[in-house]
Amino acid sequence: MAKELAKTYDPQSIESRLYQKWLDKKYFAAHVDRSKKPFTIVMPPPNITGQLHMGHALDNTLQDILIRWKRMQGFEALWQPGTDHASIATEVKIIAKLKEEGIDKNDLGREGFLKKAWEWRDEYGSRIVSQLKKMGSSADWDRERFTMDEGCSKAVQEVFIKLYNEGYIYKGSRIINWCPVCKTSISDAEVEHEEQAGHFWHIKYPIVGEDGFVEIATTRPETLLGDTAVAVNPDDDRYKHLVGKMLKLPLTDREIPVIADAYVDKEFGTGCVKITPAHDPNDFEVGKRHNLPEINILNDDATIVNNEYGGKYAGMDRYEARKAMVADLDAQGLLVKIVDHSHNVGTHDRCKTTVEPMIKQQWFVRMEELAKPAIDALKNGDLQFVPDRFDKTYLHWLENIRDWCISRQLWWGHRIPAYYCDDCGEIVVSRTAPEVCPKCGCKHLTQDPDTLDTWFSSALWPFSTLGWPDKTEELDYFYPTDVLVTGYDIIFFWVIRMVFSGYAHTGKSPFHTVLIHGLVRDSQGRKMSKSLGNGIDPLEVIDKYGADALRMTLVTGNAPGNDMRFYWERVEASRNFANKVWNASRFIMMNMEGVDTSNVTLDSLEDADRWILSKVNRLAKDVTDNMDRYELGIALQKVYDFVWEEFCDWYIEMVKPRFYAEDNAASKAAAAWTLKTVLITALKLLHPYMPFITEEIFCNLQDEEETIMLSAWPEYRADWDFTEVESRVEMIKEAVRAIRNVRTSMNVPPSKKAHVYVVSDKEEVRDAFTAGKNFFASLGYASDVQIQADKTGIADDAVSAVTADAVMYIPLAELVDIAKEIERLEKEEKRLQGELARVNGMLSNEKFISKAPAAKIEEEKGKLAKYTQMMEQVQERLSQLR
């Protein structure tokens, strides 16, 4: 039996209660069940430093929609949750907190600092998880993992040792991104490129033994201390004669060669490029091709080195040195000019410091071979992006991939399992500290102090969370996973690393589909950021409007891969929709009370019932098709349109008379059964998007099932296909709209009922109106409905409303008091005559036309057109009435 819903929909009173029920009942739990097909999504692990933002809200809403849908379709659906240790972000936060307490990281020592880090994780690590729960996220929280838990750490160590033994991991000197504040290498993912106003400094490099010079242009003049060549294009006729000659490096006592390399763009700048292999990735590659020395001129804090290369600038900050060097160049007559120049500058996303490209001894992964299976996966269809335009981004990155720097100069993270012999320097990579050096027998070995890049562990996330490297039941059943949902901004940082890691360690792609979403921007289209102060806190939205309204707002109009704008008005519209569903459900449940529907069959339904049943039947098919194609926004829009328009605005209004009439138990039962059946179907289609309100209504509407979450997803049924009935009812709806338009144009209030004649020479049309006579009368504000083949008996002054299939006539006298209407229209005619006389007078006055502003003249012309049209309508109406 249906229970009663509260008078008003209050999300705050139901959401936390329902979520706790779902947790207590273990509805989110997934188990190895060989009788069912698995469906798996791994949650992109949020940082333990994280606070829920709109990006998280969108990302997790999309995942929850998919997982709830598949759960209802009968899959064993696992949404694997977890959090990321986020090496740099967390270490930065902990150092800042220690600083406030007057504690220096180095005074604590490594073990003391790690103790503080784990305390931080215990205190803040679950914060974002509790916030995700407020969103309604139905992840299997009993399986929650952490990138530094015992199992994930074991997987990381296994992969490092395996790749090292296979020759894919090596230690060497290459260009990396260096943060001078955090004093660590950072990945490309942690470098934000922003447009900054800068300069091109044009500098003369004198030719040794000649009077001439070459002119180079640089945005970083301080790096010239590390120059080891100047390069020109081999096809550049201007400089061919200089190749092989030596140049005097300004501000130093060194000489450097002129080399020829196709890397140089003849058309850009002066066509001469200073080559600084230790401080530019492109220069590094040029240097390797020409066997150039690599001179590092910066300390870890971005001050100039204190040696023969630093010279008089030793110890200066990089920008201080830049000023001093530019002044010296100018004094020596070597500064040609300074030109304003905007260019992209890489900054560390955590501390906002400008990153320095520097040569460092680091651990790297050789990527060329590992990338090949990941490229093939997309080309042979084992992996697909939705939308597929992101294929290009993925392939471009993989086909131009460089070796991956995986070491970080941090304490928080997975420590590199490499040990160095104190005597002979032998490197031993091992699960545990070796007791003796295998090369010289020394018993003193020291572990590498560095930790691994955070992405190294998150690259293993799809399989490490399921127990790999152990051969677990979960890994065998739930892996490969199905869909990865993520933003387009980390395709190359995370998605690519998961794919090549999946192939390298499991032989399979970790998922078959990558669903890409865009960013949530503010109402002006700007990226949300702390600096702009335009961020919207999802928790604030939930507190004000409820999680369902937020979820619906994030998905409405959302297309894969596209950015969306956040408007508070849209949240209010989502809340209004929730209210509409709630109030309609209350009406249905009140009218179902005491109605016996046990004998209702499809044959006992009326046309209106079959129409809405057929509509919801097709809706189930269409929505499922859209969701299969990951068109989640389109699917939601279809459910919204159906519920608001077809179900609430039409069908409920159609059946109201059947509940108020006496002695029609069978008709009332058919309406009650249909209302309940269609509402339950619609609630199920809406559930993945708005889980809380649908659960609350479902559990009060029926008592056969204890939760909508585990009820069956609606499927198309052939016996619910009433296409012919649909066309009949749509014909009546069109007639209702025509009548309403006529009444509106005549300002007739809905309360004023009138006789309606339906005239059609087609028998099937007359039969359709006869079958739908009751609801047609109600919706068309008819006191009585007469259906006939011709105009016999209809007054000449009757107002007509025309559709393709029939003409509806309404006696004019029943719509308006003719005498009073003529009187009103005559007054209106007089008023319009005055307005027209005034406007025509102004527009025929030459003085006005010559002196008035053009905008004023146009305004008066507009009034003339408007009043003329109104006069025509009034006079036409008067002639009809007279």
Q: What is the pLDDT of residue 870?
A: 84
CA dihedral 424, 425, 429, 433 (to 10 degrees): 70
- Domain match, 846 and 765 both: no
Q: How far apart are the first and last CA of the chain?
A: 60
Q: Is the dihedral of CA 62, 706, 624, 549 positive or negative?
A: negative
DSSP one-letter code for 317: B
- Ligand-binding annotation for 93, yes or no, is no
- Domain match, 649 and 566 both: yes
- Domain match, 279 and 340 both: yes
Reported residue count of the chain is 882
Residue 387 scores a pLDDT above 90: yes
Q: How far is CA 612 from CA 589, 658, 659, in A?
A: 18, 16, 17
Domain membership flag for residue 29? no
- Domain match, 829 and 808 both: no
Residue 534 vs residue 669, higher pLDDT: 669
pTM given for the model: 0.86
Between 387-391, 531-535, 802-806, 849-853, the lowest mean confidence (pLDDT) is in: 531-535
For the segment 247-275, the average pLDDT, to the nearest whole number, is 93
Q: Is the peptide bond before 714 cis (omega within 30 degrees of 0)?
A: no
Domain span at residue 653? 562-702
Q: Which long-range contacts (CB under 8 A, 24 or more apart) does 372-375 make?
A: 373/500, 373/503, 373/504, 374/398, 374/496, 374/499, 374/500, 374/503, 375/399
- Helical packing angle, 691-701 and 665-686, nearest 10°: 150
- Domain match, 759 and 681 both: no
Domain membership flag for residue 90? no
Residue 161 scores a pLDDT above 70: yes
pLDDT band of residue 190 (cuts 50, 70, 90) is: confident
Residues 6+ apart with CB under 8 A from 454: 84, 85, 86, 87, 88, 147, 187, 408, 413
Q: What is the pLDDT of residue 645?
A: 95
* Residues 593/701, Cβ–Cβ less than 8 Å: no
Residue 81 scores a pLDDT above 90: yes
pLDDT band of residue 694 (cuts 50, 70, 90) is: very high
Q: What is the pLDDT of residue 490?
A: 77
- Domain match, 678 and 756 both: no
For residue 259, give the nearest of 277, 248, 274, 238 by alpha carbon: 274
Residues 6+ apart with CB under 8 A from 459: 494, 497, 498, 500, 501
pLDDT band of residue 155 (cuts 50, 70, 90) is: very high
Choosing from 323, 341, 357, the residue where a domain stops is: 357
Report the alpha-carbon distance of residue 175 to residue 356 in Å, rounded. 10
Please report where in the chains the tokens 């490099």 appear, as a residue.
205
* Residues 635/623, Cβ–Cβ less than 8 Å: yes
Report the alpha-carbon distance of residue 516 to residue 488 in Å, rounded. 6
- Domain match, 293 and 431 both: no
Here the tokens at position 420 are: 């160095």
Residue 575 scores a pLDDT above 90: yes
- Domain match, 250 and 350 both: yes
Choosing from 311, 331, 357, the residue where a domain stops is: 357
Residue 475 scores a pLDDT above 90: yes
Residue 199 scores a pLDDT above 70: yes
* Residues 458/494, Cβ–Cβ less than 8 Å: yes
CATH of the domain at 689: 1.10.730.10
Q: What angle do CA 363, 369, 372 make, to 5 degrees?
A: 130
Q: What angle do CA 623, 626, 631 make, to 5 degrees?
A: 125
Q: What is the pLDDT of residue 193?
A: 79
Report the alpha-carbon distance of residue 293 to residue 359 in Å, rounded. 12
Q: Is the dihedral of CA 429, 430, 432, 437 positive or negative?
A: negative
Q: Which long-range contacts (CB under 8 A, 24 or more apart) does 160-165 make?
A: 160/416, 160/417, 160/429, 160/452, 160/456, 161/417, 161/429, 161/430, 161/431, 162/505, 163/365, 163/504, 164/418, 164/429, 165/429
The number of distinct structural domains making up the chain is 5
pLDDT band of residue 518 (cuts 50, 70, 90) is: confident
DSSP one-letter code for 482: S
Burial category of 366 from C-beta neighbours within 10 Å (exposed 0-12, middle 13-18, buried 19 and up): middle
CATH of the domain at 192: 3.90.740.10
- Domain match, 189 and 313 both: yes
- Domain match, 278 and 199 both: yes
Report the alpha-carbon distance of residue 361 to residue 176 in Å, rounded. 9
Domain membership flag for residue 109? no
Residue 492 scores a pLDDT above 60: yes
Report the alpha-carbon distance of residue 305 to residue 303 in Å, rounded. 6
Here the tokens at position 838 are: 């005034």
Domain membership flag for residue 395? no
Q: What is the pLDDT of residue 13?
A: 92
For the segment 775-797, the average pLDDT, to the nearest whole number, is 90
Domain membership flag for residue 302? yes
Residue 881 scores a pLDDT above 80: no
Reported in sequence order, the residue ranges of 207-284 that DSSP labels E, i.e. its strands, are 213-218, 229-232, 246-248, 255-260, 272-275
- Domain match, 792 and 824 both: no
Domain membership flag for residue 405? no
DSSP one-letter code for 536: -
Choosing from 310, 325, 357, the residue where a domain stops is: 357
For the segment 539-560, the average pLDDT, to the nearest whole number, is 94
For the segment 822-848, the average pLDDT, to the nearest whole number, is 89
pLDDT digits (tens, 9 = 90+) for 218-237: 999 999 999 999 999 999 99
For the segment 634-662, the average pLDDT, to the nearest whole number, is 93
Residue 660 scores a pLDDT above 90: no
Residue 1 scores a pLDDT above 60: no
pLDDT band of residue 2 (cuts 50, 70, 90) is: low
Domain membership flag for residue 493? no
- Domain match, 623 and 764 both: no
Q: Is the dihedral of CA 223, 225, 231, 237 positive or negative?
A: positive
For residue 745, give the nearest of 664, 817, 799 by alpha carbon: 799
For residue 224, give the nearest of 212, 232, 216, 213 by alpha carbon: 216
Q: Please state, as a whole number, how many other Cβ atoms lie within 10 Å of the Cβ of residue 263.
A: 13
Distance of CA 600 to the CA centre of its chain: 45
Domain membership flag for residue 638? yes
Q: Please state, as a whole number, how many other Cβ atoms lie within 10 Å of the Cβ of residue 118.
A: 12
CATH of the domain at 861: 1.10.287
CATH of the domain at 752: 3.30.2320
For the segment 513-537, the average pLDDT, to the nearest whole number, is 84
* Residues 140/30, Cβ–Cβ less than 8 Å: yes
pLDDT digits (tens, 9 = 90+) for 112-135: 999 999 999 988 888 899 999 999
Q: How far is CA 325 from CA 275, 305, 526, in A?
A: 18, 15, 39
For residue 273, give the nearest of 218, 336, 353, 332 by alpha carbon: 218
Reported in sequence order, the residue ranges of 490-611 that DSSP labels E, i.e. its strands, are 513-517, 520-521, 564-565
Report the alpha-carbon distance of residue 272 to residue 230 in Å, rounded. 7
Q: How far is CA 95 from CA 73, 99, 101, 120, 745, in A?
A: 48, 6, 10, 11, 72
Report the alpha-carbon distance of residue 275 to residue 284 in Å, rounded. 8
Please report where in the chains the tokens 């069912």 appear, as a residue.
36
Arithmetic mean of pLDDT over the chain: 92
